[in-house]
Amino acid sequence: MKKHKVLKEMIQVSQLPVEAITNEPKITVIEEDEAVVENHKGLIMYEENIVKINTLSIHG
């Protein structure tokens, strides 16, 4: 739990977005036909109507 508290304090002090420090994925949807995915781990599948992106994030 101490690790979580230190991380939380770092985020507050740095004033950076949470995903910049924790490397968590961030998905931004723009209108109806565009999305931006940051901090992903790779593309799993890409088809005409389906896009699967690996966003698995493991924290100890």
Tell me: the pLDDT tens digits for 17-57? Answer: 777 777 788 889 999 889 999 888 899 999 998 999 998 76
Number of domains present in the structure of the chain: 1
Domain of residue 43 covers 25-60
- Whole-number pLDDT of residue 60: 44
Would 16 be classed as within a structural domain? no
Would 2 be classed as within a structural domain? no
Would 20 be classed as within a structural domain? no
Would 56 be classed as within a structural domain? yes
- Whole-number pLDDT of residue 36: 92
- Whole-number pLDDT of residue 3: 75
Would 43 be classed as within a structural domain? yes
Give the rounded distance of the alpha carbon of 20 from its chain centre. 8
Q: What's the pTM value of the predicted model, to 2 decimals?
A: 0.59
Would 3 be classed as within a structural domain? no
- The beta strand positions in the chain, using DSSP E, are 26-30, 34-38, 43-46, 51-53
Would 14 be classed as within a structural domain? no
Identify the sign of the CA torsion 41, 42, 45, 48. positive
